[in-house]
Structure 1
Amino acid sequence: MKLFIDTANVDHIREIASWGVLSGVTTNPSLVAREGRDFMAVLREILAIVDGPISAEVVSTQADDMVTEARQYYELSHNIVIKLPATAEGLKACSRLTGQGVKTNLTLIFNPNQALLCARAGATFVSPFVGRLDDISTDGIQLVRDIAEIFTYHGITTEIIAASIRTPGQVVAAAKAGAHIATLPPAVFHQMLKHPLTDAGIERFLKDWESVRKQG
């Protein structure tokens, strides 16, 4: 399973990219608003850091406007993936952009029917929201599992991005459920590295090494 980072903070992207684990980036208007920066400037900086799919979400609600907005983003780089909502207008825009060779990521997916419609409209990626479903006591990982089963059975090549990931446990569960990609906030990347036995092992090694060094 590939790992994307879900943020518009360029410093965080640069840090996690330095680990050599990033395959792509997802952003959305809320994330960009938190940074208080020009979206196009942020996209240019991200493109200079990560050589992979960079999802840029439209803010328009009508298909014609979505396509116009998408073309502006896509002109920056062919690594740009246009993030569209799983709505009727989003499907229209997806179909048109796919016909023009533009990759799309259909987002805010909360049931398998939405994912199937998006895939048939030509979506490159679909993004089921795991954490937001768990927030309302619904099994978000089961949604990923259901979509993966449907896509596999019917030979659908659209990739599944497990989105709205909140914990390292959800990363493992999404991988086991068949997600091709998980997009994670920076904090979850750091949490994935942590284990008390790792810390204890490093501390023990350093103490042993220091003891050996003092003995000459």
Structure 2
Amino acid sequence: MNQLDALKQWTTVVADTGDFKQLDAFKPQDATTNPSLILKAVQKPEYAPLLQDTVNQFRDRPLDEIMDRLLVRFGCEILSIIPGRVSTEVDARLSFNTNATVARGERLIELYQAEGIHIDRVLIKVASTWEGIQAAEQLERKGIHTNLTLLFSFSQAVACAQAKVQLISPFVGRIYDWYKKTAGAKWVEADMAGANDPGVQSVKQIYDYYKKYGIATEVMGASFRNVGQITALAGCDLLTISPDLLAVLAANDAPLVQALDASKAQTLDLPHVFFDEAGFRLALNDDAMATEKLAEGIRAFCVDAIKLEQLLLGA
């Protein structure tokens, strides 16, 4: 049994890509996209007609609507291949606007439903800012399920649990990147690998807390830099993995053991935590890594959203 098949025994494997032509090989349950992944995909010749067709059909509509229609077009293609759910992201420029995020999430769902897609097959991706988490809480109350992304801290995970969101995506690789860059020459890769990886430890802390307190929100580790980070999280609810790393797992027959275990987490002595808005903002502010990576992630997604708009305008 290869490591990908072994991982599927304990963890739902999700493909992290906008390139839906790669999906068949790995048989993932779900798939996730974001503006950067869609931008990457539409610049490939095989996807250019899809972008052009969307623009031709809806040229008279506002640019933000054409963008959403393109995202949904990709989502529908992905859903024709996978059995589970696709995550589609709200424009990152709305990350600090609760009402606009709710409105955009509702529109994305309406566009999917117009294509005959059931509401339960879509997760609306929202940045884990305070405003984003409040928007997700409102969307969940309307029966629209959410995936809270750009999540780097325990405080963000607790606030998401309080909001009863469907799923969170803690970013393993970007946490690792920050600690490695901060340590500089002092970083020893071998000492910080596997269970000692700061990104892995962050997800484990969140997973253990959720399972200890029976929190229904799903934990999906995301943003991996190497296979060691993935295997160290075997047993997590879900893991969203790039096609490159899925291929590495599929080609490796080394034994894989379950690393995270809900029944063990329930025996841990962990304090219960609650955050109101002021407490959340202070806790996030106290975490330099999370503060920097959240801001950086939103900026990067905004840049790619603008690039995608330019491609639409030029089509």
Partner of 1:80: 122
Contact 2:72 2:88 in 1 (8 A): no
Match of 1:6 among 8, 16, 22: 16
Name whichever structure is richer in strand by fraction: 1
- Matches of 1:30 and 1:53 in 2, distance apart? 19
What letter corresponds to residue 207 of structure 2 in structure 1? A
What letter corresponds to residue 107 of structure 2 in structure 1? Q
Partner of 1:203: none
Matching of residues 19-98 of structure 1 within 5 Å: 22-36=28-42, 37=51, 38-59=70-91, 60-61=94-95, 62-75=97-110, 76=112, 77=117, 78=119, 79-98=121-140
Q: Stretches of 4+ moved more than 4 A in 1?
A: none
Superposition CA RMSD, Å: 1.6
Deviation at 1:40, TM superposition (A): 2.2
Partner of 1:146: 205
- Structure 2: gaps (5+ residues): 1-10, 43-50, 52-69, 181-197, 255-315
- Matches of 1:41 and 1:184 in 2, distance apart? 22
Other structure's SS at 2:165 match: coil
What letter corresponds to residue 118 of structure 1 in structure 2? C
- Matches of 2:83 and 2:145 in 1, distance apart? 15
- Matches of 1:195 and 1:89 in 2, distance apart? 42
- Matches of 2:164 and 2:253 in 1, distance apart? 45
- Matches of 1:73 and 1:16 in 2, distance apart? 27
Partner of 2:274: none
Other structure's SS at 1:136 match: helix
Percent identity between the two aligned chains: 32
Other structure's SS at 1:140 match: helix
Q: TM-score, normalised by structure 2?
A: 0.58
- Matches of 2:24 and 2:108 in 1, distance apart? 21
Matching of residues 196-207 of structure 1 within 5 Å: none
Contact 1:165 1:182 in 2 (8 A): no
What is the count of residue pairs matched by the alignment?
A: 191
Other structure's SS at 1:92 match: helix
Contact 2:71 2:88 in 1 (8 A): no
Name whichever structure is richer in helix by fraction: 2
Deviation at 1:67, TM superposition (A): 1.4
Contact 1:166 1:184 in 2 (8 A): no
Partner of 1:163: 222
Deviation at 1:196, TM superposition (A): 8.4
Partner of 2:231: 172
Q: TM-score, normalised by structure 1?
A: 0.83
CA 1:116–1:41: 2 relative to 1, 3 Å: same
Deviation at 1:145, TM superposition (A): 0.9
